[in-house]
Structure 1
Amino acid sequence: MKRLLEIEFIKLWNSRSSRILIISYFALLSLISILTTIDFSFGKIQFRLAEQGIFNFPYIWHINTFIAGVLKIFIAIVIVSMMSNEYSNKTLKQNLIDGLSKKEFVLSKFYMVVVFSLISTIFIATVTLILGLIYSDYKTASIIFTDTEFLLSYFVKLVGFFSLCLFLGMLVRKSAFALGFLFIWYILEWLFFGLLNYVLPDNSEIPGKIFKFLPIQSLSNLIKEPVSRFNAVMTLANQVGEDLTRDYTTHWYEYTIVIIWTLFFLFFTYITLKRRNL
């Protein structure tokens, strides 16, 4: 494992674009603190995010992992570019000539995915803890470490999403096409959901249940939207008679679905490489 990771780190270090994207990603994660200064205005309602409790423990674990999850596209670009460069720079063929098996090649990429995900999780955990200790009104240990399971959800979400990018990068070869295909995949999932709603009877729960099993949606389900937890949003909803009560918990079966998809992407990344004539 160590040898395979060393090979990948050397490749990334020698890629200027990858270095810039990785630095940009972690810089943006650090800038989550800027949210504390943003003022929002909805008609006569004005509020500052920091005053709505989003930086209070334990809510901060939810909001920060959700925002960080949106920024994962930067590392997705790195991964698909990494796969594209393997073909354009002929390093894939050279690695195989030098004795690296196709299985080891795929594992080296997956190990890198896991390392990226782990480093990102540790980084966002550190940023969140610092912001919470500065801005939170509640700082007892029992409250601080409540909802830290969102960090696990964030880690699993990153591993699953980056494994999907790894598969698309191997399948399509060209990074721009791979990212485009990722966007099309997202659109197709929603079109499929819309088709199910159109075909099945009104008020049927079947479309929603099926939708949860699709790859990109299953990744989204690991960290549900946190906006409805804001004090201002809840107050506004109550004024218009809306109930925004949500289940924000990540259930075991949601983890299971993503893990199965991750193994699926890893397996077919290997199958694609094994059957490809290099």
Structure 2
Amino acid sequence: MTDRSVEREGNMQEKKITIIERATEIIAKKGYHAASIQEIAEASKLSKGAFYLYFKSKDELMAEILRYHFGLITEEIEKVDRQDINSREKAKLRLSTMMRELVKRGNFIVMQRHDIDSDIGKEMELFFLEEMEKGRRKTELDLLDVYGEVSKPYLKDLRILQEGILFQIIGDMLLHGLILDLDKTAAYILERMDDMVEGLLKRKAEPLVTDATPVSASIFEKEMKEREVKQVLERMQIVILTLDAEIQEVQELQGVVELIQEELQKKEPRKLLIQGLSANFKGIEEMDDLRRELARLLDIKVL
């Protein structure tokens, strides 16, 4: 790549970041539907036509907004994790860094209050849920690192309590103008966590939430399963094209996959129908593992 190409690519990236930041501000104020590409382009000092050189659609822009802000927040937290300091100081610094990043990206946080689940599409919704799930797991590991094995039965309770305090404070800062010293606030939160751990251990309290607590399938789990099913069906279509079979038979098998896909799009898919349709793949060695995987994901019998 020539120096001129590198410079051009750098300029393109800078402009994309400008569009992302201006779009975040506009969507935070007006909502996803009300924010127009024309308005975003003008705020970014671009024509509407030039906008499409950087993003194919508003949905693609929204996807990049999520990746951009989550990426920067994660990058700052990882810098803290690499520091050679004791677990308690690291926990306090992590809290203050998290708050600082969330406050700095206030428009991004507010933006998520505007119909984000229905507007970014399934893939981006899943990305958002995955990031939140990773954050929850990381918080529990951090709490274990600070309070040791004695805290293990209470990790989920402690995580819920810490997140509740943290996000309520951030909410008051962003929505109600509360002004706080973030380093002092981080120390305060950690001290309150100390109080909670001490109280739980002293009382030998029964944990409210544990790994054994019954739960219905979470949105995250449902989305993950839907994506896995979609991938299995796509692999089926690819394998069908490689089969040594008559064209008519190939078309019929592809039609079966399409019928299963259509049924799964319904509010209440009929499992018995899908079970019957998948029986069409019986006896085709190349399809055997895939039909069994599909049956496992959909909790249906293999006929």
User: Normalising to structure 1: TM-score of the pair?
Assistant: 0.32
Structure with higher RCO (Cα < 8 A, 6+ apart): 1
Bigger Rg, which one: 2
User: Normalising to structure 2: TM-score of the pair?
Assistant: 0.30
